[in-house]
């Protein structure tokens, strides 16, 4: 608890830099990453990140010291070259994009490792600490770095706000944008450059290997929670910042722990959580939906059986007292299902129970009539409008009565010209 | 006005890789008509539309629109791409997509004004999607998606509309509602050019035809063009020779025409 208080009160001034740095990096990469994901260029982020390494080394060689501006400049150039190389391979050969990304990524990374080894074997390189660019070292973020990260974030933010509509247009329908006279190539170049820039900003803290996660994952999570682009972008940024701060805290509270991997792990945990719990698309939501459907079908089938029982007994008032056995004789339910279904229907006021005998209430009568009517309307529809043997009609109509909406019911009635409940059941 | 030329295609040759997809295609189209572009699969219909819209570079020849180059009259011509050419899972609403029709060259950065909003609302209403205005496009049926694309083109307020297979994968009711929208546009003097592959409905939909199979087979008023002879020229029989030549060109990287000869 003390560690936590120390952390949030920034007792150690270095913590401020780490937290701010990670927040700025994560926000920038989540913002532009949303467009990379929607352009189906998610893997490009991975290629770019790996391709930054040779640029970082060249930047170091040019500056002769670890100057972040030089390193980032070199990184942006090789990162951008890598996307250019992918495009050339795809356009000029039969190699597909995924293969091209794999080739470019590993080639640039190999060059990077060669340069890195060269630098470390030379006198000036020994204290360079460039190997932190492989796995990242957030603790080393300085005040000056934070300012550079903030500038990158602002550039990305301003560009997205200014060109939001065009970015969306180019992303959604590139060819159409061209026919409108939009300079599509220029905007694509801008999006790519912004992607490279925000990845380059992050490699010091997260390393070239993990940085691609910050481009791809937040947007993918945002997409799970929303269908609206502004919300997706906002959620991506929020989730990314949360995992950034979380990662910084873990590495603060136990000095042995690296920041970058923890940021990525927290982000992955959010992905897992979202896949389970997100509304509509989440596994839990879908499970619940299918369970509700199953229960609805069961309850409606019970009411239907009660109606059919009355028909069998030649009773039009629907007010007979019946037992569980009577229902079971009409339709074979699973005993447990039937018991719980009856309990629910009684609770909802469709059935009245007196000791062992069950009867329909007024609303129960109405509901059972509605279901039988839908079932038989659909049977009539199948018989009249399609080729189906009459002994198959019943099973074909079974289950459909639970789906038919009032609008569809009206259309059915209009098409068939039937009022009331058809007598015949197949 | 009636005899004005909407689109002129002059000696157009377009190739993918080595083989020509369009080969010396040359025609002029009238204004204010619903024009069908028909031909078998792979006959270069989509390529023709994309070249007219400047999406593909011709190997030779040129296209003129209202007797000007495309760049001079971009806001006079609207393109409806094939429905399946985009990812409909994209997070956008019907309104968002139709509003794209108002972006144009000059309107990229400024926010849409009241006039834009009104045009977009009208376009959505014209295609009968007012109730779906705020619906996410991923939740639309195929026919509704097609109508969103048409509304987006309507919002461009152009003179010439190019539609690539607008009836592919839509039901008969949607097809006839799209046709009545297009007829309404024709009555306002617009030119509508439609790629179509269903020969059975050609007679109902079009008044003017371009019959294509890599080369221009025929063009003109429906009755003149829609003949058994033309169709068999386009769809089979005599032209197998032409496709054999195309195959040889593809296989050998042979040039389509000698460089110093200009037709």
B174: domain CATH number is 3.40.50.300
Pair (A275, A310) in one structural domain: no
Helices A13-38 and A143-172, packing angle to 10 deg? 10
Helices B142-154 and B114-126, packing angle to 10 deg? 140
Q: What is the pLDDT of residue B261?
A: 47
CATH code of A387's domain: 1.10.10.10
**Per-residue confidence at B231, pLDDT binned at 50, 70, 90?**
confident
The candidate with the shortest Cα–Cα distance to B210, out of A48, B221, B149, is B221
Please give, one letter per residue, the 3-state secondary structure of A327-389: HHHHCCCCHHHHHHHHHHHHHCCCEEEECCEEEECHHHHHHHHHHHHHHHHHHHHHHHHCCCC
Query: Domain range for residue A124?
Result: 2-281
Q: Which residue has the tokens 């010439």?
A: B160
Q: Residue A170, Cβ neighbours under 10 Å: how many?
A: 24
* Angstrom distance (rounded) from CA B216 to CA B26: 7
Q: Which residue, A281, A309, A339, sits at the end of a domain?
A: A281
Q: Which residue, A226, A250, A281, sits at the end of a domain?
A: A281
Average pLDDT for A209-226: 90
Q: What is the pLDDT of residue B247?
A: 66
Pair (A219, A300) in one structural domain: no
Contacts of A187 in chain B (CB under 8 A): none
**Cα separation values, B122 from A54, A233, B83, B157, B170, Å:** 54, 30, 21, 11, 22
Pair (A56, A168) in one structural domain: yes
pLDDT tens, B209-222?
999 988 898 899 98
Q: Provide the token pair at A87.
A: 């495009």
Average pLDDT for A305-328: 86
Pair (A306, A402) in one structural domain: yes
Pair (A215, A351) in one structural domain: no
Assess if residue A421 is contained within a domain.
Answer: no
DSSP strand pairing (B60-65 vs B191-195)? unpaired
Q: Provide the token pair at A82.
A: 């890598």
Assess if residue A422 is contained within a domain.
Answer: no
Pair (A207, A268) in one structural domain: yes
A421 contacts: CB under 8 Å, gap ≥ 6: A369, A372, A373, A376
Pair (A21, A152) in one structural domain: yes
The candidate with the shortest Cα–Cα distance to A380, out of A403, A405, A414, A407, is A414
Average pLDDT for B74-92: 94
* End-to-end CA gap in chain A: 70
* Angstrom distance (rounded) from CA A245 to CA A243: 6
Q: What is the pLDDT of residue B197?
A: 81
Rg (CA), chain B: 19
If one counts the domains in chain B, the total is 1
Q: Which residue has the tokens 């269903």?
A: B198
Burial class (CB in 10 A: 0-12, 13-18, 19+), B177: middle
Contact B71 A166 (CB under 8 A): no
Which has the higher per-residue pLDDT, B33 or A139? B33
Cross-chain CB nearest to B54 (options A173, A179, A232): A179
Our CA-based measurement puts residue A220 at a distance from the nearest CA of chain B, in whole angstroms, of: 12
pLDDT tens, A326-358?
888 888 888 888 888 899 999 988 998 888 888
**Per-residue confidence at B252, pLDDT binned at 50, 70, 90?**
low
Residue A263 has pLDDT above 60, yes or no: yes
* Angstrom distance (rounded) from CA A217 to CA A49: 14
* Residue A226 · residue A235 · CB < 8 Å: yes
Pair (A70, A156) in one structural domain: yes
Pair (A134, A182) in one structural domain: yes
Q: Provide the token pair at A420.
A: 């009331």
* Residue A30 · residue A45 · CB < 8 Å: no
CATH code of A26's domain: 1.10.3470.10
Pair (A207, A329) in one structural domain: no
Q: What is the pLDDT of residue B250?
A: 63
Interface of B with A in 96-115 (CB under 8 A): 96-97, 100, 103-105, 108-109
* Residue A78 · residue A107 · CB < 8 Å: no
Q: Provide the token pair at A152.
A: 């990158």
DSSP strand pairing (A351-354 vs A357-360)? antiparallel
Element containing residue A42 per DSSP (H, E) = helix A42-63
If one counts the domains in chain A, the total is 2
Test mutation, B108, B131, B150, B154, chain A, max A CBs within 10 A? B108
**Per-residue confidence at A248, pLDDT binned at 50, 70, 90?**
confident
DSSP state letters, A59-127: HHHHHSS--HHHHHHHHHHHHHHHHHHHHHHHHHSS--HHHHHHHHHHHHHHHHHHHHHHHHTSGGGGG
Q: What is the pLDDT of residue A28?
A: 96
Cross-chain CB nearest to A176 (options B79, B92, B108): B79
**Per-residue confidence at B148, pLDDT binned at 50, 70, 90?**
very high
DSSP state letters, B23-86: EEEEEEEESS-EEEEE-STTSSHHHHHHHHTTSS--SEEEEEETTB-GGGSGGGEEEE--GGGS
Assess if residue B129 is contained within a domain.
Answer: no
Residue B1 has pLDDT above 60, yes or no: no
Task: Inform me whether the C-beta atom of residue B57 falls under 8 Å from chain A C-beta atoms.
Answer: no
* Angstrom distance (rounded) from CA A76 to CA A132: 18
> Whole-model pTM?
0.82
CA angle B137/B140/B143 to nearest 5° reads 120
Task: Inform me whether the C-beta atom of residue A171 falls under 8 Å from chain B C-beta atoms.
Answer: yes
* Residue B212 · residue B25 · CB < 8 Å: yes
Q: What is the pLDDT of residue A14?
A: 80
Which has the higher per-residue pLDDT, B204 or A187? A187
* Angstrom distance (rounded) from CA A217 to CA A34: 9
Q: What is the pLDDT of residue B263?
A: 43
Contact B108 A172 (CB under 8 A): no
The candidate with the shortest Cα–Cα distance to A21, out of A140, A197, A158, is A140
- For chain A, give the mean pLDDT: 87
Give percent of chain A with pLDDT exceeding 70: 97
Assess if residue B53 is contained within a domain.
Answer: yes
**Per-residue confidence at B262, pLDDT binned at 50, 70, 90?**
very low
Question: Strand, helix or coil at A163?
Answer: helix
A-B contacts at Cβ under 8 angstroms: 74
Pair (A268, A314) in one structural domain: no
Query: Domain range for residue B181?
Result: 5-84+154-252
Count the alpha carbons within 13 Å of A261 in the hemisphere toward its beta carbon. 7
Which has the higher per-residue pLDDT, B150 or B247? B150
**Per-residue confidence at B89, pLDDT binned at 50, 70, 90?**
very high
Cross-chain CB nearest to A180 (options B87, B97, B105): B105
Contact B103 A166 (CB under 8 A): yes
* Angstrom distance (rounded) from CA A163 to CA A35: 12
* Residue A250 · residue A299 · CB < 8 Å: no
Pair (A144, A87) in one structural domain: yes
Contact B108 A163 (CB under 8 A): yes
Assess if residue A424 is contained within a domain.
Answer: no
CA B248 to chain centre: 29
pLDDT tens, B104-143?
755 666 788 888 999 999 999 999 999 999 999 999 998 9
**Per-residue confidence at B255, pLDDT binned at 50, 70, 90?**
low
pLDDT tens, A404-419?
877 788 888 888 877 7
Task: Inform me whether the C-beta atom of residue A173 falls under 8 Å from chain B C-beta atoms.
Answer: yes
CA angle A106/A38/B126 to nearest 5° reads 155
Cross-chain CB nearest to B100 (options A169, A175, A227): A169
Assess if residue A173 is contained within a domain.
Answer: yes
Cross-chain CB nearest to A175 (options B85, B105, B136): B85
Q: Which residue has the tokens 């509605």?
A: A370
Q: Which residue, A248, A281, A314, sits at the end of a domain?
A: A281
């Amino acid at each position: 608890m003390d560690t936590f208080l120390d952390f949030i009160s920034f007792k150690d001034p270095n913590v401020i830099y780490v937290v701010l740095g990670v927040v700025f990096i994560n926000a920038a990469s989540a913002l532009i990453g949303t467009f990379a994901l929607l352009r189906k260029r998610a893997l490009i982020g991975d290629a770019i990140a790996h391709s930054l390494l040779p640029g970082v080394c060249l930047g170091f060689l040019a500056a002769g010291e670890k100057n972040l501006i030089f390193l980032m400049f070199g990184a942006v150039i090789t990162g951008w070259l890598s996307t250019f190389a992918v495009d050339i391979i795809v356009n000029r050969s039969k190699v597909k994009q995924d293969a091209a990304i794999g080739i470019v990524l590993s080639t640039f990374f190999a060059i990077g490792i060669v340069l890195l080894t060269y630098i470390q074997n030379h006198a000036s390189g020994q204290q360079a600490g460039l190997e932190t660019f492989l796995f990242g070292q957030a603790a080393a973020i300085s005040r000056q770095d934070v300012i550079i990260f903030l500038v990158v974030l602002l550039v990305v933010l301003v560009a997205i706000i200014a060109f939001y509509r065009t970015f969306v247009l180019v992303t959604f329908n590139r060819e159409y944008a061209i026919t409108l006279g939009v300079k599509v190539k220029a905007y694509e170049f801008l999006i790519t450059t912004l992607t490279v820039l925000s990845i380059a900003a992050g490699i010091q803290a997260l390393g070239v290997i993990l940085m691609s996660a910050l481009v791809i994952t937040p947007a993918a999570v945002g997409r799970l929670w929303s269908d609206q682009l502004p919300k997706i972008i906002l959620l991506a940024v929020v989730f990314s910042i949360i995992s950034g701060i979380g990662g910084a805290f873990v590495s603060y509270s136990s000095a042995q722990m690296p920041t970058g991997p923890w940021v990525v792990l927290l982000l992955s945990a959010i992905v897992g959580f979202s896949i389970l719990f997100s509304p509509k698309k989440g596994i839990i939501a879908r499970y619940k939906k299918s369970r509700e459907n199953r229960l609805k079908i069961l309850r409606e089938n019970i009411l239907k059986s009660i109606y059919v029982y009355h028909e069998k007994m030649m009773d039009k008032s629907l007010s007979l007292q019946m037992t569980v056995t009577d229902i079971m004789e009409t339709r074979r339910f699973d005993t447990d299902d039937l018991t719980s279904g009856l309990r629910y229907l009684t609770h909802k006021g469709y059935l009245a129970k007196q000791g062992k005998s069950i009867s329909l209430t007024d609303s129960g009568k109405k509901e059972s009539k509605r279901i039988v009517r839908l079932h038989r309307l659909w049977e009539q529809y199948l018989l009249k409008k399609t080729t189906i043997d009459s002994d198959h009609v019943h099973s074909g109509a079974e289950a459909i009565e639970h789906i038919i909406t009032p609008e569809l019911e009206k259309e059915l009635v209009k098409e068939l010209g039937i009022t009331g409940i058809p007598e015949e059941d197949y | 006005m009636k005899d004005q030329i909407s689109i002129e295609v002059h000696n157009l040759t377009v190739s993918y890789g080595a083989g020509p997809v369009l080969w010396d295609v040359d025609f002029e189209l009238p204004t204010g008509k619903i024009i069908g572009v028909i031909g078998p699969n792979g006959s270069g219909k989509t390529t023709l539309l994309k070249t007219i819209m400047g999406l593909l570079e011709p190997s030779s020849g040129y296209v003129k629109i209202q007797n000007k180059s495309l760049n001079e009259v971009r806001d006079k011509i609207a393109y409806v791409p094939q429905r399946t050419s985009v990812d409909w899972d994209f997070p956008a609403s019907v309104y968002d997509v139709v509003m794209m029709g108002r972006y144009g060259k000059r309107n990229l950065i400024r926010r849409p004004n009241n006039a834009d909003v009104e045009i977009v609302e009208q376009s959505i209403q014209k295609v009968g999607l007012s109730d779906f205005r705020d619906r996410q496009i991923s939740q639309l049926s195929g026919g509704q998606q097609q109508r969103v694309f048409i509304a987006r083109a309507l919002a461009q307020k152009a003179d010439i509309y190019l539609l690539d297979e607008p009836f592919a994968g839509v039901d008969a009711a949607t097809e006839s509602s799209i046709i009545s929208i297009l007829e309404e546009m024709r009555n306002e003097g617009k030119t509508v050019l439609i790629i179509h592959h269903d020969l059975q409905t050609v007679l109902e939909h079009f008044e003017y035809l371009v019959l294509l199979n890599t080369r221009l087979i025929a063009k003109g008023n429906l009755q003149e063009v829609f003949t058994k002879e033309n169709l068999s020229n386009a769809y089979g029989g005599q032209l197998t020779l032409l496709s054999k030549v195309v195959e040889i060109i593809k296989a050998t990287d042979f040039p389509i025409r000698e460089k110093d000869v200009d037709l």
